[in-house]
Amino acid sequence: MVVPESQGKMYHPPLELHRDAHVPDFSSYLVMYKRSLENPEAFWKEVADEFFWKKPATSPMLQYNFDVTKGNIFVKCMEGAKTNICYNVLDRHVREGNLGEKVAYYWEGNLPEHHTTITYGQLLSHSCRCANVLKQMGVKKGDRVSIYLPMIPELVYTVLACARIGAVHSVVFAGFSSESLCERIMDAKSSVLVTADGVYRGDKLINLKEISDEALEKCVEKGASSVARCLVIKHQALRTKTGASCNRLQTPWDSERDVWWDEAMSDSSEECEPEWLDAEDPLFILYTSGSTGKPKGVVHTVAGYLLYTFLTFKYVFDYQHHDVYWCTADIGWITGHSYIIYGPLANGATSVLFEGIPVHPHVGRFWEIIERYKVTKFYTAPTAIRLLMKYGQEPLQKYDLSSLRILGTVGEPINPEAWQWFYEVVGQSMCPVVDTFWQTETGGHVLTPLPAATPLKPGSATFPFFGVEPTILNEHGEEVEGEAEGYLVFRKPWPGIMRTVYENHERFENTYFKKFPGFYVTGDGGRRDKDGYFWITGRIDDMLNVSGHLLSTAEVEAALTLHPAVSEAAVVSRPHTVKGESLYCFVSLKDCKEFDKKMADELKRLVREKIGPIATPDFIQNAPALPKTRSGKIMRRILRQIARNEKDLGDLSTLADPKVVEVLFSQRSEATA
Ligand code: WTA
């Protein structure tokens, strides 16, 4: 790698950013990067020195095997050390850093009039009290706690409370259906569920407790009865919401199992000695879609995740102590875990915690929040940018966005048009855009610009973070040098990479390591250009990225075929101007069943119920037959082209019955959107 020469349009960091930046220019990045690969021991040791260790490590900073042919895959960071991540992100700041009075979160509710401030001192005391409540409910080190909550401060308290007592948190995004919640509770065998009575998302009232109850009933029906207690938060903002709409919410109650948060917290002590955990003890499970349809419980461990989220946050957002940082993700996803909770708190940062949606109660909501809190670093998703672009510049012009210094995106490739709008309109051409590529599995950013150091090319996640060694392989597993395109893989671990799939190490090895022994396979295609910049070319497995959420086609197909009239279903991606990709579903019905709008609506409802609103099909098309090879494999390439109305289908000779394609094209216009 060399300092990139300007080839095509590049965007250089503004001069004033260089001055105080942790990595002030590209040559400094190169020096540090080289050192992180050549001497990882010293590099990571220095990072670990920032933190408190009850017992030091007794082995090297990183040990691993990435080659399935040589034995089990494993990654270990700082084996032998004992620590507690909650202590490191809270007590350490309050006790040693004097940050007790510093704001940890500005919480902003669904409506602008609902907001509150939480200092580091308060965060510590609430988390300790919640930890004591969980202990009282019988939660012990190693037990799993499922958390199904909206973006409220109690969600952060609960996550940190688990971390404090060594319980493994499993946060389930509160947009998931009762079926998905049940599946995740059962897989983790959680003993406690933490939820809320309900939440407003925009105008819509969602009865979370009712969904939770349904999920718990389903668990029992399926023979699992692991959840003994359910802790329920009475969501303040709901109670203060004006009159009638609030009364609509009936909270079902099981007095044997359910406990109100307020009551339990009121006599709970704020003193809670942290549980000193092994560096490699699990910290959390977070489920992500798997290409077979069943979600995978990605497991992250204490020490490595702490080091990695700390360091990526510090460098990628060039964290300075006066910053007000805002990540718009939900804590139900990895971005929220790493870059709303652990990374910012490990640095002692002040963040905005936002419960609402970008367009409620008006389309300038994001800009209003940036002005209100004088946000300096703003991290969001391309899908949100594309949505807000549609409203033009006017909503922004009403607000003062001059506090902004650095912008960031995550979750999906950003199209150049959205990048340009983010950079020029939101950032006034003065704020670098860090396009961060990473995954639930990677724990933190792996390909990313550093804001004061990396000349930017719109749409490229640019270069590897410290300690990360990407490469590109061809179909035969051979590394391709220079300008090339193929499978994006990593040659060695960094501290924050996942350790296993919960209780299914074999699936972990098969998914990420079997295809190319010696490498972690991301499942994404990658391209390296002539300047060495990396570009993500999209998933190469049967995964879809809808509004930055990964969904597996198999998962949606499985939901569709649960309908008694459906004999077969195939789901493909179709480009969407706001969501990036959308779901186009082909369904074959059983004999004598009629396909009509009612049927399509039923199918959409079914998918919503089984997975959640994020998986709602955008199009459903009747498919009397699906295009298959002679061996019976569905040719998804052809379905994708039909969905996109691309008539030039190329070679159809492998199809068992090419006439199927004509029929599908002729019925295309009847697809129900
Ligand atoms: C995609 C989200 C292009 C990619 C943190 C990856 C991206 C998947 C980017 C992981 C980016 C994420 N550019 N594609 N900057 N960031 N992706 O697990 O396909 O929800 O594999 O983690 O999102 O999604 P996940």
Give 570: exposed, middle or buried? Use CB within 10 Å, 0-12, 13-18, 19+.
buried
pLDDT score, position 248:
60
Cα–chain center distance at 114: 26
Task: Give the residue from 161, 295, 133 showing the smallest Cα distance to 230.
Answer: 133
Instruction: Give the mutation target among 383, 436, 545, 552 for probing the ligand 1 site: most ligand atoms within 8 A of CB.
Output: 545
Q: DSSP character for 242?
A: -
What integer best gives the mean pLDDT of the chain? 93
pLDDT score, position 6:
45
Mean pLDDT of 161-184: 97
Question: Does the structure show a pLDDT above 70 at 399?
Answer: yes
Strands 192-196 and 296-301: unpaired
- CA-angle at 128, arms to 122 and 134, nearest 5°: 135
Shortest-distance Cα residue to atom 24 of ligand 1: 439
Q: Give distance in angstroms: CA of 229 to centre of ligand 1.
A: 35
List of residues 6+ apart from 70 with CB closer than 8 A: none
Q: Identify whether the C-beta of residue 199 lies closer than 8 Å to the C-beta of residue 330.
A: no
Q: Which residue has the tokens 């497995």?
A: 541
Q: Which atom of ligand 1 is nearest to the CA of 549?
A: 20
Residue 241 pLDDT class (50, 70, 90 cuts): low
Shortest-distance Cα residue to atom 10 of ligand 1: 439
* Residue 107, both tokens: 């919480």
Question: Does the structure show a pLDDT above 60 at 1?
Answer: no
Tens of pLDDT, residue by residue over 357-369, are 999 999 999 999 9
**Ligand 1: residues within 6 Å at CB?**
288, 333-335, 410-413, 435-440, 461, 522-524, 536, 539, 545, 550
Instruction: Kindly report which listed range (106-110, 190-194, 592-596) carries the lowest average pLDDT score.
Output: 592-596
CA dihedral 147, 150, 154, 160 (to 10 degrees): 50
Half-sphere exposure of 316 (CA within 13 A, CB side): 36
pLDDT score, position 3:
52
Q: Identify whether the C-beta of residue 533 lies closer than 8 Å to the C-beta of residue 5.
A: no
* Residue 549, both tokens: 């959420």
Helix, strand, or coil (residue 239): helix
Instruction: Give the mutation target among 333, 442, 468, 550 for probing the ligand 1 site: most ligand atoms within 8 A of CB.
Output: 550
How large is the angle between the packed helices 120-136 and 153-165, nearest 10 degrees?
60
Instruction: Give the mutation target among 299, 412, 541 for probing the ligand 1 site: most ligand atoms within 8 A of CB.
Output: 412
CA dihedral 152, 156, 159, 161 (to 10 degrees): -120
Q: DSSP character for 338?
A: I
Q: Give distance in angstroms: CA of 596 to centre of ligand 1.
A: 36
Q: Give distance in angstroms: CA of 449 to centre of ligand 1.
A: 15
Q: Identify whether the C-beta of residue 165 lies closer than 8 Å to the C-beta of residue 249.
A: no
Whole-Å CA distances, 471 to 273, 312, 436, 517, 525: 44, 20, 17, 14, 11
Residue 4 pLDDT class (50, 70, 90 cuts): low
Q: Give distance in angstroms: CA of 550 to centre of ligand 1.
A: 8
Question: Does the structure show a pLDDT above 90 at 232?
Answer: yes
Helix, strand, or coil (residue 265): helix
Residue 66 pLDDT class (50, 70, 90 cuts): very high
pLDDT score, position 244:
41
Strand ranges of the sheet holding 115-119, from the earlier edge strand across to the other edge: 115-119, 103-108, 350-354, 324-327, 377-380, 406-410, 433-436
Q: Identify whether the C-beta of residue 200 lies closer than 8 Å to the C-beta of residue 110.
A: yes
Shortest-distance Cα residue to atom 1 of ligand 1: 412
Q: Give distance in angstroms: CA of 445 to centre of ligand 1.
A: 10
Instruction: Kindly report which listed range (205-214, 311-320, 529-538, 634-643) carries the lowest average pLDDT score.
Output: 634-643
* Residue 419, both tokens: 């990048």
Task: Give the residue from 407, 412, 404, 437 showing the smallest Cα distance to 422.
Answer: 407
Residue 190 pLDDT class (50, 70, 90 cuts): very high
Q: Give distance in angstroms: CA of 536 to centre of ligand 1.
A: 9
Mean pLDDT of 446-473: 97
- CA-angle at 509, arms to 504 and 510, nearest 5°: 95
Mean pLDDT of 578-606: 92
Residue 226 pLDDT class (50, 70, 90 cuts): confident
Residue 377 pLDDT class (50, 70, 90 cuts): very high
Shortest-distance Cα residue to atom 22 of ligand 1: 439
Instruction: Give the mutation target among 172, 173, 289, 437 for probing the ligand 1 site: most ligand atoms within 8 A of CB.
Output: 437
Q: DSSP character for 631?
A: T
Q: Give distance in angstroms: CA of 258 to centre of ligand 1.
A: 37
Shortest-distance Cα residue to atom 3 of ligand 1: 413
**H or E element: which one contains 140?**
none
Residue 63 pLDDT class (50, 70, 90 cuts): very high
Mean pLDDT of 579-584: 95
**H or E element: which one contains 513?**
none
pLDDT score, position 445:
98
pLDDT score, position 371:
98
pTM over 0.75: yes
Q: Give distance in angstroms: CA of 386 to centre of ligand 1.
A: 17
Q: Identify whether the C-beta of residue 289 lies closer than 8 Å to the C-beta of residue 555.
A: yes
Q: What percent of the chain has pLDDT over 70?
A: 97
CA distance 263 to 88: 29
CA distance 444 to 215: 30
pLDDT score, position 542:
80
Mean pLDDT of 337-344: 98
Q: Identify whether the C-beta of residue 673 lies closer than 8 Å to the C-beta of residue 618.
A: yes
Question: Does the structure show a pLDDT above 60 at 5?
Answer: no
Mean pLDDT of 653-661: 84
Question: Does the structure show a pLDDT above 50 at 321?
Answer: yes
Q: Which atom of ligand 1 is nearest to the CA of 536?
A: 3
pLDDT score, position 243:
44
Shortest-distance Cα residue to atom 14 of ligand 1: 412
Question: Does the structure show a pLDDT above 80 at 310?
Answer: yes
Q: Identify whether the C-beta of residue 383 lies closer than 8 Å to the C-beta of residue 579.
A: yes
Whole-Å CA distances, 161 to 128, 141, 310, 327, 488: 6, 11, 19, 22, 37
Instruction: Kindly report which listed range (5-14, 433-442, 452-461) carries the lowest average pLDDT score.
Output: 5-14
Q: Give distance in angstroms: CA of 493 to centre of ligand 1.
A: 18
Instruction: Kindly report which listed range (77-91, 289-303, 483-497, 608-622) carries the lowest average pLDDT score.
Output: 289-303
Q: Give distance in angstroms: CA of 549 to centre of ligand 1.
A: 8
Q: Give distance in angstroms: CA of 420 to centre of ligand 1.
A: 20
* Residue 592, both tokens: 């004598």
Instruction: Kindly report which listed range (121-135, 196-210, 239-253, 585-599) carries the lowest average pLDDT score.
Output: 239-253
Instruction: Give the mutation target among 309, 331, 536 for probing the ligand 1 site: most ligand atoms within 8 A of CB.
Output: 536
Mean pLDDT of 200-211: 94
pLDDT score, position 628:
86
Task: Give the residue from 391, 392, 389 showing the smallest Cα distance to 416.
Answer: 389
CA distance 580 to 333: 18
Shortest-distance Cα residue to atom 23 of ligand 1: 411
Question: Does the structure show a pLDDT above 80 at 247?
Answer: no
Q: Which atom of ligand 1 is nearest to the CA of 288?
A: 18
pLDDT score, position 59:
97
Q: Give distance in angstroms: CA of 285 to centre of ligand 1.
A: 18
Residue 139 pLDDT class (50, 70, 90 cuts): very high
Mean pLDDT of 375-385: 96
